Amino acid sequence: MATISLCMIVKNEEKNLENCLSSVKDVVDEIVIVDTGSTDRTKEIAKRWTNRIYDFEWIDDFSAARNVSFQYATKDYIFWLDADDVMEQKEIEKFKFLKKSLSEEEIDVVYMKYFLPSNKIESHTTRIRMIKRGLSAKWGGIVHEDITVNGEHRYTLSDVVITHTKDLNNTDDRRPSRRNLEIYELNIARGHKLSVADMFNYARECSIHKDYPNAIKYFELIRDHPEVSLQNNMFIYHKLATCYVLNGQPEKELELTLQSLSLDMPYPAFSCRMGEHFIKTGQIEVAIFWYKTAYMQPLSDSYSFSVADATYHTWLPHQQLAICYEALGEMDQADFHNRQAEYYKNRLVNQTKKVNTSLNTMDSRS
């Protein structure tokens, strides 16, 4: 059976590390912890699980720390997690089956879905989660880093799901951390040349902190860039449209939406934007067409730095359809779509409760 090294970078994660490590203790053969300057009990907690703990002098670059953590691995495969990630019990059995099949199928790279639950949105992405040690692979990106694998390799998309717990209890009045934004600004001030992925993530951080002019500037720099995949480019169009609206330039939203429709099939977010446009112009029947298109369009997996947000595929189009049908006096249809919207909103709440229950169970076992 293949052996697996779990490699992590941590800093001041005393609230999360125990749950993370206890959730995967039965499926990894080695735990490597690289600490980037903790001042709390993080290293003390890590010592309960491993003696492979190393210090790394922080240089405002997550990829640099990740690459060092991989160098300490000694097993067949390298698996990575953040300290606020967990593997729920139902995923453990899937992981054990995957572990048995790795050597038999000669897999080099394993992708896994990354579930990002919160009370606000239901979203996920798909990332490289495990690679064969010795493979020509390197982390890149200052923040929101990602792995690049060079050369030919055999990969599989596993059905194992990793759950990110950071945003479970977010509230609207909670200010986002400026840490990531400040890391980018420090590197820019030092003359660091941002990669395409860095420019995307810096733009995203600017939008989170409501610096919409800067967000627009960097999103525009990478829109239609040859290094950007079609799916990621559509995600950039979506983010740009939002930033323009919030920057007081709503006319750009329709322009970008129409451009996106010339690139690929209608993505749910842009179908909803078209629906909103036709509601505003009083063309309710046309709006209904676009909102139906939004929820009927399959929600594809998301790779690299884009995130698949199910909002535009689930409760939002149904909520808007209820408004449309009510305007037309078709109350049976309005009631149906209101029920659908409530179903998906309740599903968000139940998913959050389920993960929190799982975390509490881990706490009680620790």
d(CA 72, CA 140): 18
Tens of pLDDT, residues 307-330: 667 889 999 999 999 999 999 999
Residue of 299, 312, 184 lying closest to 257 (CA atoms): 312
Task: Return the pLDDT at 297.
Answer: 81
Torsion sign across C-alpha atoms 341, 237, 229, 265: positive
pLDDT of amino acid 125:
87
Mean pLDDT computed over every residue of the chain = 91
Answer positive or negative: Cα dihedral of 43, 44, 47, 48.
negative
The 10s digit of each residue's pLDDT in 234-244 is 999 999 999 99
- What string of H, E and C letters represents the secondary structure of 215-256? HHHHHHHHCCCCCCCHHHHHHHHHHHHHHHHHCCCCHHHHHH
- Tell me how far apart the alpha carbons of residues 48 and 135 are, in angstroms, rounded to a whole number: 30
Confidence bin at 366 (pLDDT 50/70/90): low
CATH number of 4-170: 3.90.550.10
Give the pLDDT mean for 120-145: 90
* Assigned CATH for 179-355: 1.25.40.10
Burial of 314 (0-12, 13-18, 19+ CB in 10 A): buried
Residue 357 pLDDT > 80, yes or no? no
Average pLDDT, integer, range 58-85: 97
Both tokens of 227, joined, read 């290094």
- Please, which pLDDT band fits residue 104 given cuts at 50, 70 and 90? confident
Task: Please check whether residue 34 is in contact with residue 72, taking contact to mean a CB–CB distance below 8 angstroms.
Answer: yes
Q: Where do the structural domains in the chain lie, given as residue ranges?
A: 4-170, 179-355
Instruction: Decide if pLDDT at 176 tops 60.
Output: yes
Q: Which pLDDT belongs to residue 124? A: 82
Of the candidate ranges 55-69, 196-210, 242-256, 291-305, the one whose mean pLDDT is the lowest: 291-305
The percent of residues above 70 in pLDDT, for the chain, comes to 90
Instruction: Tell me the pLDDT band of 283, cut-offs 50, 70 and 90.
Output: very high
The number of residues in the chain equals: 366
When pLDDT is cut at 50, 70 and 90, the band that residue 171 belongs to is very low
Domains 4-170 and 179-355 share a fold: no
Range with the lowest mean pLDDT among 3-7, 181-185, 215-219, 359-363?
359-363
Mean pLDDT of 135-141: 94
User: Between β-strands 53-55 and 30-35, what pairing exists: parallel, antiparallel or unpaired?
Assistant: parallel
